[in-house]
C-alpha cells in the first residue's frame, strides 16, 4: 500500500462522498472508487459503508482512518524536516496572472510564494502549453491544450459602464434592449475569443444588438475611452462602480456572466483552494 492510497481513503472518509473526494484529490470518481476497492481487497475487509446519504467508515475503516492520518502527518513532517536540513525553501508557484482578475481570487489561489506573469487568456493558455506557468487564471469558454487540468473558481455578473453624462446614466437598472444600437467598447477578440463571442451572443439573445466599436482595449484602458466617447458603453463587473467619471448599472435579469477558471499544467497539483472554490460553484 502506497501513500497515495492513504490519501485517497482519508479524503473519501472525511468528505463522505466519492465525488467531492475525487474533486479534492484531482482524480476521476471511477479511478478513486477503483483504488478504494483495491485497498479493500488487499486488507480483506470492507472499509466503507455505502448508502444513499453517502459513505462512512466501517469499524475496520475507522481504525485505518486514524492510522492513515498519522502516516500522512509523519510523511509531511519528514519532507519538511528534510527541506529544512537541505536549506530548501517551499516551492515557488509560477502563476499566470490574468489581466483584470479579481484581487480576492488571485490572493486565494496564491497564498504561498509565487512569481507572477501577467497576460490575457490567450497568452496564459500559450504559457500553460509551453509549461512556463504552473497555474493560471483564464476566462471561459476557452480551448485548452491536451493534458491541462481545469476547474471553475468564480463567476462575475457584468453590467454596463458609461460616462456620467451618458443618456442612460440616470437609470438605476437597465434592460438589455436599452443598449440596443449603442457602440460597445470591448476587449480585443484575440485576447479571449471564447469569452468575446459568448458575451456578444448573450447580448443578442436578450435583444441587445450593440454596435461593436473599432476601439478594442482591456479593462484598464476602457475608462479613459468611455470618458472621451460619452455615447459609448462598456461592460464591467460591479468592481467598476467606483471608477471616477463613470457609472455602472446592472442589467435586469443578469443575462451576462463571466466564469473564471483555474488551469494547471500537466503533472502539477493545484492548491486545495481550487477544489474549494469549484465546490462552492456546485462543481464538486
Verify that 141 and 167 share a domain, yes or no: no
In a domain, 281, yes or no: no
pTM above 0.75, yes or no: no
Chain center to CA of 198: 18
Residue ending a domain, choose from 88, 120, 138: 88
What CATH number does residue 169 fall under? 3.40.190.10
How many independent structural domains does the chain possess? 3
In a domain, 110, yes or no: yes
Q: To 10 degrees, what angle do helices 3-15 and 29-43 make?
A: 110
What CATH number does residue 68 fall under? 1.10.10.10
Instruction: Give the span between the Cα atoms of 234 and 248, in whole angstroms.
Output: 9
In terms of residue numbers, what domain contains 54?
A: 3-88
**Site of grid cell 485548452:** 144
Verify that 222 and 234 share a domain, yes or no: yes
> For 180-203, how does the pLDDT look when each residue is reduced to its tens digit (9 = 90+)?
999 999 999 999 999 999 999 999
In a domain, 276, yes or no: no
Q: 140 in helix, strand or coil? A: coil
Residues sharing a CB contact under 8 Å with residue 267, sequence separation 6 or more, in sequence order: none
Q: Is the pLDDT of residue 69 over 70?
A: yes
Verify that 144 and 75 share a domain, yes or no: no
Verify that 121 and 81 share a domain, yes or no: no
In a domain, 114, yes or no: yes
Mean pLDDT across the chain, nearest whole number?
89
Q: Is the pLDDT of residue 133 over 80?
A: yes
Q: Is the pLDDT of residue 26 over 70?
A: no
Instruction: Give the span between the Cα atoms of 93 and 125, in whole angstroms.
Output: 17
Q: Is the pLDDT of residue 116 over 90?
A: yes
Instruction: Give the span between the Cα atoms of 280 and 284, in whole angstroms.
Output: 8
Residue ending a domain, choose from 88, 104, 128: 88
Out of 112-116, 203-207, 217-221, pick the least confident: 217-221
Question: CA torsion angle for 79, 84, 86, 92 (degrees, to 10)?
Answer: 80
Radius of gyration of the chain (CA): 24
Amino acid at each position: 500500500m502506497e501513500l497515495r492510497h492513504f490519501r485517497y481513503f482519508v479524503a473519501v472518509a472525511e468528505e463522505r462522498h466519492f465525488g467531492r473526494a475525487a474533486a479534492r484529490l484531482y482524480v476521476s470518481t471511477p479511478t478513486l472508487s477503483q483504488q478504494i476497492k483495491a485497498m479493500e481487497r488487499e486488507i480483506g475487509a470492507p472499509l466503507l459503508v455505502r448508502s444513499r446519504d453517502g459513505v462512512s467508515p466501517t469499524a475496520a475503516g475507522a481504525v485505518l482512518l486514524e492510522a492513515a492520518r498519522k502516516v500522512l502527518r509523519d510523511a509531511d513532517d519528514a519532507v519538511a524536516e528534510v527541506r529544512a536540513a537541505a536549506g530548501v525553501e517551499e516551492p515557488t508557484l509560477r502563476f499566470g496572472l490574468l489581466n483584470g482578475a479579481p484581487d480576492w481570487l488571485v490572493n486565494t489561489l496564491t497564498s504561498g510564494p509565487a512569481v507572477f506573469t501577467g497576460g490575457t487568456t490567450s497568452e496564459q493558455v500559450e504559457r500553460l502549453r509551453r509549461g512556463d506557468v504552473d497555474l493560471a487564471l483564464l476566462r471561459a469558454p476557452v480551448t485548452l491544450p491536451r493534458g491541462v487540468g481545469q476547474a471553475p473558481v468564480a463567476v462575475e455578473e457584468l453590467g454596463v459602464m458609461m460616462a456620467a453624462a451618458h443618456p442612460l446614466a440616470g437609470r438605476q437598472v437597465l434592460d438589455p434592449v436599452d443598449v440596443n444600437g449603442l457602440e460597445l467598447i470591448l476587449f480585443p477578440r484575440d485576447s479571449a475569443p471564447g469569452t468575446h463571442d459568448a458575451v456578444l451572443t448573450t447580448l443578442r439573445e436578450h435583444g441587445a444588438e450593440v454596435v461593436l466599436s473599432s476601439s478594442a482595449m482591456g479593462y484598464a484602458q476602457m475608462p479613459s475611452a468611455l470618458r472621451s466617447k460619452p455615447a459609448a458603453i462598456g461592460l464591467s463587473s460591479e468592481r467598476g462602480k467606483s471608477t471616477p467619471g463613470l457609472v455602472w448599472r446592472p442589467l435586469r435579469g443578469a443575462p451576462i456572466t463571466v466564469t473564471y477558471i483555474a488551469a494547471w499544467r500537466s503533472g502539477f497539483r493545484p492548491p486545495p483552494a481550487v477544489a474549494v472554490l469549484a465546490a462552492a460553484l456546485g462543481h464538486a
